[in-house]
Amino acid sequence: MLRWTDVDFGRHEVRIRQSLGSTGDVTLPKNGQARTVTQPPPARDALVEMPRRADSPYVFTTRTGKRFSKTSHYYYWHAVRSSCGRPGMDFYELRHFCATELLRLGVSHADVAVQLGHTDGGALVMSTYGHPSEDEARERLRRAYAPDVRRLRAAE
């Protein structure tokens, strides 16, 4: 249940203090601990543009200003995924995409784990989300080896 007071626009951070449980109840977030995550610029920009309801502390609300219930969450999520041409997309796929994309961009497993709320130092990220393509792996290896090749040639 994200509140406007949890969003720090200046630091590009969001404090995750609560979660909507599988039965619709408000629970502690993943691993039972609050955490702060870094906002990607498009998410920050979207929140900056969002109108705030004077009658609600929540960022995401129903039309009447109430916090999402499990039912209203799925109602709005269905509309969002349908508008993107992905009517069957599971909400979990967003986490998976984010983790995979961060890894592809070179963010460490441990740092991705912090963003996702994992406390295992990146082990789950490595086993679950790390799906580099062979082409991307070869390109990273070429870049890693390139400085050594230049150094060896200079020594000749």
Find the range with the poorest average confidence among 4-8, 53-57, 81-85, 146-150: 146-150
DSSP single-letter state for residue 62: -
d(CA 94, CA 110): 19
Q: Is 112 helix (H, G, I), strand (E, B) or coil?
A: helix
Q: Indicate the pTM of the whole model.
A: 0.74
Q: What is the mean predicted confidence (pLDDT) over 32-56?
A: 91
What are phi and psi for residue 28, nearest 5 degrees? -70, 155
Q: Residue 77's beta-bridge partner residues?
A: none
Q: Residue 20's beta-bridge partner residues?
A: 26
Confidence of residue 155 (pLDDT cuts 50, 70, 90): low
**Half-sphere exposure (CA, 13 Å, Cβ side) for 69?**
5
Q: What is the mean predicted confidence (pLDDT) over 81-107?
A: 88
5 pLDDT higher than 80: yes
Confidence of residue 28 (pLDDT cuts 50, 70, 90): confident
Q: What is the mean predicted confidence (pLDDT) over 132-143?
A: 80
Sheet with 35-38, side-by-side order of all strands = 7-8, 13-16, 35-38
Helical axes 92-104 vs 109-116, angle rounded to 10°: 150
Pick left, alpha or beta for residue 32 (phi over 0 → left; psi -120 to 50 → alpha; otherwise beta). left
Q: What is the mean predicted confidence (pLDDT) over 108-134?
A: 87
